[in-house]
Each structure stands twice: as C-alpha cells, then as structure tokens.
Structure 1
Amino acid sequence: MSSSSATPITAGGGIVFRLERESREPEVLMIFRKGKWDLPKGKLEEGESIAMCAAREVAEEVESTIPAIVQKVGTTYHEYEEKGKTMGKTTHWYSMILTKEETLYPQQEEGITKVEWIPFSKAVEIAGFENLKEILRKFKT
C-alpha cells in the first residue's frame, strides 16, 4: 500500500539462481545485510534501463561479472524512512544466471557481510522481508 506523501524510487533487483546436478531444487544467491537475508537490488541511475539497473546492482553487490537476465519475474513495493522522508520503492525483479563460475564477495561499503547460494526452499524461509518471500514464490511458479 503506497502513501501519497512517499517520494517514489525505482529500483531493479535480481533473483540469481543456479541448478546443481546433485540438488533437486535451484539455489538462489542471497546477501546478508543489516541483520537480514536479502536479494541484491538497488536504485535506477539516470539513463539506465530497469533491466540494466538490476544486472548492474547484482554485479556490484556480489562483485561478479554482469549476470544474464532470463526473464522479468515481477515487482515489489515497500516504504521506508530516509533522512526524515518517506520513500516508496518499487523494485522490478528479474531472474538471472551467472554465465561462468566465479568467487563472489560481499560489497562491504553497502553493509553486505555475506553472499551465499541458498537452496530455494530455505531462501523463501529465511528471506528477511515478506515481499521478498512473495517474489521468490512467484519466481518458482
């Protein structure tokens, strides 16, 4: 639910997944930030498409190459306070894959302390926000 006084913010994020031979379900790349498991995402920059924003943010937050977008999954909306103002963030989510195996690192300047591949069912369980649980469920269907 959006409040009319919220300053609108547009963002892009990624549900980066992989399929391991020995696993029965996909693994999802999650980040740990501010005490919660989250998905990589960030604000749209001027002159950038939303899809490019999502791919760039993933690459920045896990220090990877630019991931390949598979398809758009949907959007989430949430409000938060920043410097005394209410911000209303709409995040456009894309499923993505990394095109090569690489070592990933948390973007510490963004407060990210861990980057981990998590089995899908556990990812839904530990996601720190209800809207993330919902977009993960939508990804799976």
Structure 2
Amino acid sequence: MYKVFVNEFPLILTTKKPHNANGILFEMDADSILKAIESLSKKKIKEAYIYDPSDTILEHFSAKIPMVLAAGGVVKNKKGKILFIYRNNKWDLPKGKLDKGESIENAAVREVEEETGVKNLVVDKYLHTTYHIFKHNGNFRLKQTYWFAMRTDFEGKLKAEKAEGITKAKWKGPKKTKKALKNSYQNIRELFESGI
C-alpha cells in the first residue's frame, strides 16, 4: 500500500480491494487515475483508492503519472532543534529533486545546504519515503521523496534560498515544531508521526 497525497487528501494505491472504504475506488488505467486525482485536487472527494492486484503497483501507477525523485532531511542541531523552511505560506522541511547521476543521499545533503545554508551535515539514517502529486506545465507528476535523519554542528546564519520561494529558514524546538506542524503538509506531519 502507498499513500499519495493530492491537495492534502490521500490517494491510496492498494493491492487489496478495500471493504467499507470511506473513499471511492478507481481502477489502474490512465482515465480513472486522472479522474481520481482531479476529484481530490478539486476537493470533490476526500479520499480515493486505486486498486491493482500487482506487486508492482507503484511502477504501474508511475507509468501513467511520471515520477520525480526527490530527497530531503530532518536536520537537528547540537541543541536538538529541527530545521524548517517556510515556503508558499507553509512550514516545510528542506528537500528537492535529484540531479542526473546523483545519489539519493547526496541529493538530500545538497538540497538542505542550498535551501538553508547549513553546512557540516552528517546523515544518520534513512527515515521514510513520502509521495504527493503536483502539477508541472499543466501535467500531473508523482513526487517520491526520500527522507533522512541528519545532524550538524553548524552555528552560522541560516540563508533561505529566495530563488526557490523560501522566505525563512528556522531552527525550532519541540513547542515551535508542534506549532509549525499545524501549518504544514500532511506528508510532513506523517513523517513526524512515524517516530522521527
């Protein structure tokens, strides 16, 4: 099972037909997928399922909705505070697309550095993968983001990458993190709920 967010609503890719599902069930064909995505993005429905009995359900889905690979970090400083960015009126974590030939881990480190100015990053472990649908040049794309736990001893000034629409980069302790998550994306909230 994969949970893909469309406009903050879940599109669940499942190999088992759901019983008593709150959402609407769609088949794994291009027209049905587009109908599900458009219905969720226009808030006509709040949950949808795409059923495919195959073990390669994600590959089948990404053959219809092209996939973009991205990577990012949940970065802690020496005080245990977490690094956030502010973009599009939401608190988010630094992340971005992989460059051609780049490893996922290297992309995560590079994106954190570019978006926030933080250096001396150490990757501790892989955390989780999230999925969401976005629109690029009028077409839907599936973003698959790999998240890593990172730490740093960096104490310099944070530099929000304005060219990427980032207006702030901030370290947040537990109380401010909790508040930021109320104005964040469902994918980010679920990342924290998964026990990072």
| TM-score bracket relative to the smaller structure | 0.7 to 0.9
Normalised by the size of structure 1, how large is the TM-score? Answer: 0.87
**Inter-CA distance 15–38: structure 2 relative to 1 (3 Å threshold):** same
**Inter-CA distance 64–18: structure 2 relative to 1 (3 Å threshold):** closer
Counterpart contact for 2:78–2:152, Cα < 8 Å? no
User: Could you say which residue in structure 2 is the equivalent of 1:23?
Assistant: none
> Percent of counterpart pairs with the same letter?
34
Count of aligned pairs between the two proteins: 135
Secondary structure of 1:104's partner?
coil
Higher relative contact order (CA 8 A, sep 6+): 1
User: Could you say which residue in structure 1 is the equivalent of 2:185?
Assistant: 129
Cα distance in 2 between the residues matched to 1:75 and 1:30: 18
Shift of 1:100: 2.9
Cα distance in 2 between the residues matched to 1:98 and 1:19: 7
Shift of 1:118: 1.1
Counterpart contact for 1:11–1:50, Cα < 8 Å? yes
Counterpart contact for 1:31–1:39, Cα < 8 Å? yes
Shift of 1:101: 1.7
Secondary structure of 1:100's partner?
coil
Does 1:28 pair with 2:87? no
Normalised by the size of structure 2, how large is the TM-score? Answer: 0.64
Cα distance in 1 between the residues matched to 2:190 and 2:86: 18
C-alpha distance after superposition, 1:67-105 (max 9, x if no partner): 111111111000011111101001000011123322111
User: Could you say which residue in structure 1 is the equivalent of 2:73?
Assistant: 14
- Give ranges in structure 2 of 5+ residues lacking alignment: 1-10, 14-32, 34-60
- Give ranges in structure 1 of 5+ residues lacking alignment: 21-25
